[in-house]
């Protein structure tokens, strides 16, 4: 392959860090879910980019991306469902207000 | 037709047609708040749809002119590879052929006019979101029109599904809705889920078509035949006999019906039509766009685009398509008779007209179906926009509360009359509707079941003329039934699109008339016989139909339309000195102050119909029609039954299977315990006692050691230590998710660093 993949890996890294910063910084559970999607997608970019490196036409990387997109969709659905039921019960989705795991 | 492939001058511009509105939809979303603030960023959408209209006129105009005057065979694909997996190249681009040219022209025109109209209509309720969604909606349909392969078509198809969901539910935060109307949020959900059922069929169909091409490429390795989603390539494979050599047409019936399943969902055909009447919960402009250009026409377009599959399939596929169309046409035509909501009448009329188009597809004339798509698109857009104008002016959607709007809204009344005439089969709607009926009658000689379809289409023609003039007569002439509504004419942003559509409609009627005067069968200027041309462009050659059949059908069509209008006139027209009012019992009253001959005829026919309506059967039929043949209730009931039975079954399994298993396990455990108890009591206890005595002696010794050394030293000491450590460590367990995430990151980093160290990246 004659192309330079470092830029894409850089993008993926950046995306991951943005997603992670968003995950750590944000209070709202919905935002956290969005941030998780960002991180998942950065992983997807890595999969797709490294998949281009084999010249024999294996598409395992792309297939992994598609599976992970499907998983992400399922995960988002479940996550949103949980958030929705939390909202119905407590009237808020601020993650900081749920600290029942506090030791 | 010449065989050499001509290159189009404006062909390269075609890719911009869908792209401009897509870009605009994002721009308007972000900048609509700041520029053109008063009309919520309408300007961006206006420029974008206007731009794509101009480009479409250039591209499609060139194609149509070339088809007309050069008799060229135009089929040009301009595409680039989007991605490739293995040896499948998925392309993205435009396919320029007569079908895409004709349909995209209609879509671009109506999208532009709707945006112009929205500037005034949505001036209070609009938002940048609305214009972004409208632009995206139009762009998706244009993308679908121009798509060269199934993948791009499916993408456009799904974007349209999402946009329709967003737009139907535009007033999602509405707190109250008029009785009998669905809430926008639930209507949009219903639309999305119902069309999704069709989408799944379509997706399966696309995959199956693809698999047939895979099989074809494997049969002839190294040949030009590759696995493909491309329309042209698949059609070539079918025409060259590659796919027919492998597969039976019977399989293609299945594939064709799966693809048609997508069209059934999107184009609101019989089993899945339930979403379209509810879709009027959105703004009227959106209904207009959905009903006339974008959403529902996509299904017909899909079938027309993949017509090669249907042609190759056994004739059973076509028969089923035609039958579904026939059922849809007459069913929704009858429901439209009892609707009282102005948009409801138009919605059911759309379903009924879509039924016509499906009949057209089924009786072997995809040309006539597309011809009806064009004409119906024009007059239905006109009718919906006029209805919007009426709602805007009169402040109600119930035709029972209107009346006498002709004096207050003269322009709207005239354009709506033009649209109504067209729908009833007098204006440009005549030519396409008549062509469909004609093809049905012609086809019936091969397939006797088609006679039913033909009958349905003829009856529907009568019903159409009746219900649309019931609407017009109740809304415009006479005196207002709710004088407290102060109706007013809409401003020029709204009336100009109406006039444009009315004029286009009239001009088209004129052109058709010049091309072919019906009944008399005089062709003044054969170049302008558009119906014949469209059939020829799309199908290769127009089927020959016996002149006598043409004469009878056209004559009867006109008579039927006039009969329908006449009956509506007799029953609903409020002549001077006569008023129509609607008491609570669901019927309506006809009061006269002065009599003339027509009024007495009206009175007789009115009391006759009232008499029929008030009988047991009449009331029953009215109720069935008002409920839409109980199809909604049927679906709801089915879901309930399935759900209930499923729960019931699960409950039974839980109670009988799992509970018993648990009990059985418990019983076994109990028995085992009994055995072990005996063993325990007799054998072990003895041993234990013996041991105990020995140990007591030892214990005395140990106790001394224990109390001094272990208790005070090790145990208390270690417990204290644990308590202290726990006290420190519990601070880590904050219960805050972010902190845990941070720990995870740290852990990951640690693992990475250790990994790097082990790999020897950093020399130690």
B460 and B359 in contact (C-beta within 8 Å)? Answer: no
Determine contact, residues B371/B98, Cβ cutoff 8 Å.
no
Would the CB atoms of B733 and A102 count as touching at under 8 Å?
yes
Give the pLDDT confidence score for residue B590 in this predicted structure.
65
Instruction: Judge whether A102 lies within some domain.
Output: no
Query: Least CA distance to A32: which residue of chain B?
Result: B738
Confidence category of residue B107, pLDDT binned at 50, 70, 90: very high
Are B741 and A23 a contacting pair at CB < 8 A?
Answer: yes
Average pLDDT over residues B690-709: 81
Query: Does residue B436 carry a pLDDT above 50?
Result: yes
Q: What is the mean pLDDT of residues B86-102?
A: 86
Of residues B359 and B615, more confidence is placed in B359
Which pLDDT does position B527 carry in this prediction?
A: 74
| Per-residue pLDDT at B200 exceeds 90 | yes
Check whether A102 has a pLDDT greater than 80.
no
pLDDT at B740: 82
The H or E element containing residue B94 is strand B88-96
Mean pLDDT of A71-89: 91
Residue A90 lies in a domain: yes
List chain B domain ranges. 1-148, 149-171+183-566, 575-626, 631-731, 736-764
Chain A from 65 to 94: CB within 8 A of any B CB: none
* Residue A1 confidence class, pLDDT cut points 50, 70, 90: very low
Query: Between residues B715 and B497, which one has the greater pLDDT?
Result: B497
What's the rounded mean pLDDT across residues B276-280? 86
A98 neighbourhood in chain B, CB within 8 Å: 735
Q: B355 vs B18, B415, B661, CA distance in Å?
A: 28, 25, 56
Number of domains in chain A: 1
User: Two tokens at B62?
Assistant: 């060139």
Distance from CA of A17 to the nearest CA of B (A): 11
> Whole domain around residue A89: which residue ranges?
6-94
pLDDT attached to residue B104: 92
Band of pLDDT at residue B1, cut at 50, 70 and 90? very low
- pLDDT of res. B164: 92
State both tokens at B245: 């050599």
pLDDT-derived band at B112 (thresholds 50, 70, 90) equals: very high
Is A98 within 8 Å of B735 when comparing Cβ atoms? yes
| CB-nearest partner of A24 from B731, B734, B741 | B741
Please tell me the predicted confidence (pLDDT) of residue B69.
81
Beta carbons of B466 and B572 less than 8 angstroms apart: no
Nearest-CA distance from B724 to chain A in Å?
14
Highest mean pLDDT among A97-101, B378-382, B703-707: B378-382
Residue B591 is predicted with a pLDDT of 66
pLDDT of residue A61: 84
Q: Does A56 touch chain B (CB under 8 A)?
A: no
Q: Does A35 touch chain B (CB under 8 A)?
A: no
Residue A45 lies in a domain: yes
Task: Pick B86's closest partner by Cβ from A23, A32, A59.
Answer: A59
| A vs B: CB pairs below 8 A | 35
Contact: A102, B735; criterion CB under 8 Å: yes
Q: What is the mean pLDDT of residues B324-329?
A: 91
What does the pLDDT read at residue B74? 80
The segment with the largest mean pLDDT, out of B113-117, B308-312, B405-409, B486-490, is B113-117
Residues of A in contact with B742 (CB under 8 A): 24
Q: What tens digit of pLDDT does each residue of B726-756 get?
A: 888 877 777 777 778 888 889 988 998 899 8
Interfacial residues of B (vs A; Cβ cutoff 8 Å) = 85-86, 729-738, 741-742, 745
The predicted model gives B95-123 an average pLDDT of 90
The per-residue pLDDT for B6 is 59
What percent of chain B has a predicted confidence (pLDDT) above 70?
Answer: 95
Q: What is the pLDDT of residue A3?
A: 63
pLDDT for A55: 66
- A1 CB within 8 Å of a chain B CB: no
| Partner B contacted by A103 (CB < 8 A) | yes
How close, in Å, is residue A77 to chain B by CA atoms?
16
Judged against a pLDDT cut of 70, whether residue A103 lies above it is answered with no
Q: Do A24 and B730 touch (CB under 8 A)?
A: no
A95 touches chain B (CB under 8 A): yes
Q: What is the pLDDT of residue A92?
A: 85
Task: Quote the percentage of chain B above a pLDDT of 90.
Answer: 21
- What is the per-residue pLDDT for B589? 65
Look at residues B45, B192, B188, B47 and name the one whose alpha carbon lies nearest to residue B130.
B45
Kindly give the interhelix angle for B366-394 and B492-515, rounded to the nearest 10 degrees. 150
Residue predicted with more confidence, B489 or B111 = B111
CB-CB under 8 Å, B737 with A59 = no
- What CATH number is given to the structural domain containing A82? 1.10.287.3510
Q: Does the pLDDT of residue B140 top 50, yes or no?
A: yes
What average pLDDT score do residues A4-11 get?
Answer: 85
pLDDT tens track for A20-70: 888 888 888 888 889 989 999 999 998 888 887 766 667 788 888 999 999
């Amino acid at each position: 392959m004659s192309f330079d993949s470092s830029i894409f890996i850089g993008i993926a890294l950046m995306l991951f860090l943005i997603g992670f910063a968003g995950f750590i910084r944000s209070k709202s559970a919905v935002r956290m879910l969005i941030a998780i999607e960002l991180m998942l997608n950065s992983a997807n970019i890595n999969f797709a980019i490294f998949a281009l490196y084999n010249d024999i036409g294996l598409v395992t990387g792309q297939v992994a991306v598609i599976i992970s997109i499907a998983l992400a969709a399922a995960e988002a659905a479940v996550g949103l469902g949980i958030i929705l039921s939390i909202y119905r019960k407590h009237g808020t989705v601020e993650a900081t207000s749920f600290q029942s795991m506090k030791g | 037709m010449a065989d050499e492939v001509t290159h189009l001058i404006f062909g390269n511009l075609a890719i911009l047609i869908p792209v401009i509105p897509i870009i605009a939809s994002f721009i308007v979303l972000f900048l609509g708040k700041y520029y053109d603030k008063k009309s919520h960023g309408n300007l961006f959408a206006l420029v974008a749809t206007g731009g794509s209209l101009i480009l479409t006129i250039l591209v499609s105009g060139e194609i149509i002119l070339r088809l007309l005057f050069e008799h060229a065979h135009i089929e040009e694909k301009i595409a680039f590879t989007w991605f490739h997996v293995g040896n499948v190249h998925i392309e993205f681009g435009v396919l320029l052929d007569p079908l895409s040219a004709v349909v995209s022209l209609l879509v671009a025109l109506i999208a532009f006019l709707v945006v112009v109209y929205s500037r005034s209509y949505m001036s209070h309720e609009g938002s940048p979101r609305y214009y972004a969604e409208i632009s995206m909606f139009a762009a998706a349909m244009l993308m679908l029109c121009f798509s060269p392969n199934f993948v791009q078509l499916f993408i456009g198809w799904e974007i349209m599904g999402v946009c329709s969901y967003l737009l139907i539910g535009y007033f999602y935060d509405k707190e109250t809705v008029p009785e009998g109307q669905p809430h926008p949020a639930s209507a949009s959900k219903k639309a999305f889920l119902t069309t999704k059922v069709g989408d799944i069929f379509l997706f399966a169909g696309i995959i199956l078509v693809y698999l047939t091409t895979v099989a074809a490429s494997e049969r002839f390795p190294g040949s030009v035949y590759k696995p493909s989603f491309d329309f042209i390539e698949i059609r070539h494979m079918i025409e060259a006999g590659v796919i027919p050599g492998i597969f039976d047409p019977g399989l293609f019936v299945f594939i064709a019906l799966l693809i048609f399943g997508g069209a059934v969902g999107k184009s609101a055909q019989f089993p899945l039509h339930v979403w379209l009447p509810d879709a009027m919960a959105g703004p009227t402009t959106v209904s207009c766009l959905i009903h006339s250009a974008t959403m529902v026409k996509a299904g017909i377009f899909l079938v027309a685009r993949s017509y090669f599959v249907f042609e190759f399939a056994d004739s059973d596929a076509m028969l089923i398509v035609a039958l579904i169309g026939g059922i849809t046409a007459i069913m929704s035509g009858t429901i439209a008779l009892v609707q009282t909501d102005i948009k409801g009448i138009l919605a059911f009329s759309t379903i009924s007209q879509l039924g016509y188009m499906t009949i057209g597809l089924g009786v072997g004339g995809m040309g006539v179906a597309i011809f009806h798509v064009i004409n119906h698109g024009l007059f239905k857009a006109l009718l919906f926009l006029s209805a919007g104008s009426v709602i805007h002016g009169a402040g109600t959607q119930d035709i029972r509360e209107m009346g006498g709007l002709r004096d207050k809204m003269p322009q709207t009344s005239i354009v709506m009359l033009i649209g109504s005439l067209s729908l009833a089969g007098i204006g440009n709607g005549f030519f396409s509707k008549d062509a469909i009926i004609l093809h049905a009658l012609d086809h019936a000689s091969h397939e006797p079941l088609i006679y039913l379809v033909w009958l349905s289409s003829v009856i529907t023609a009568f019903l159409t003329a009746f219900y649309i003039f019931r609407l017009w007569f109740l809304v415009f002439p006479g005196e207002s039934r709710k004088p407290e509504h102060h109706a007013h004419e809409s401003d020029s942003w709204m009336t100009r699109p109406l006039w444009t559509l009315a004029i286009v409609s009239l001009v088209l009627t004129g052109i058709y008339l010049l091309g072919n005067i019906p009944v008399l069968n005089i062709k003044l200027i054969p170049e302008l016989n558009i119906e014949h041309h469209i059939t020829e462009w799309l199908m290769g050659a127009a089927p020959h139909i016996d002149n006598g059949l043409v004469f009878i059908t056209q004559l009867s069509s006109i008579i039927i339309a006039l009969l329908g209008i006449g009956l509506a006139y007799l029953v609903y027209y409020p002549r001077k000195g006569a008023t129509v009012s609607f008491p609570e019992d669901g019927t309506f009253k006809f009061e006269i102050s002065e009599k003339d001959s027509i009024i007495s005829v009206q009175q007789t026919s009115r009391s006759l119909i009232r008499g029929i309506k008030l009988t047991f059967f009449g009331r029953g039929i009215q109720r069935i029609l008002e409920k839409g043949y109980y199809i909604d209730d049927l679906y709801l009931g089915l879901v309930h039954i399935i759900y209930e039975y499923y729960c019931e079954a699960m409950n039974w399994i839980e109670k009988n299977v799992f509970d018993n298993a648990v009990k059985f396990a418990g019983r076994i455990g109990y028995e085992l315990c009994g055995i072990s108890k005996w063993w325990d009591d007799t054998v072990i206890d003895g041993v234990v006692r013996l041991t105990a005595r020995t140990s007591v002696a030892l214990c005395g010794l140990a106790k001394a050691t224990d109390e001094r050394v272990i208790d005070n030293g090790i145990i208390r000491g270690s417990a204290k230590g644990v308590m202290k450590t726990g006290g420190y460590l519990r601070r880590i367990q904050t219960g805050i998710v972010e902190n845990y995430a941070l720990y995870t990151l740290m852990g990951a980093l640690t693992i990475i660093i250790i990994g790097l160290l082990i790999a020897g990246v950093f020399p130690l």
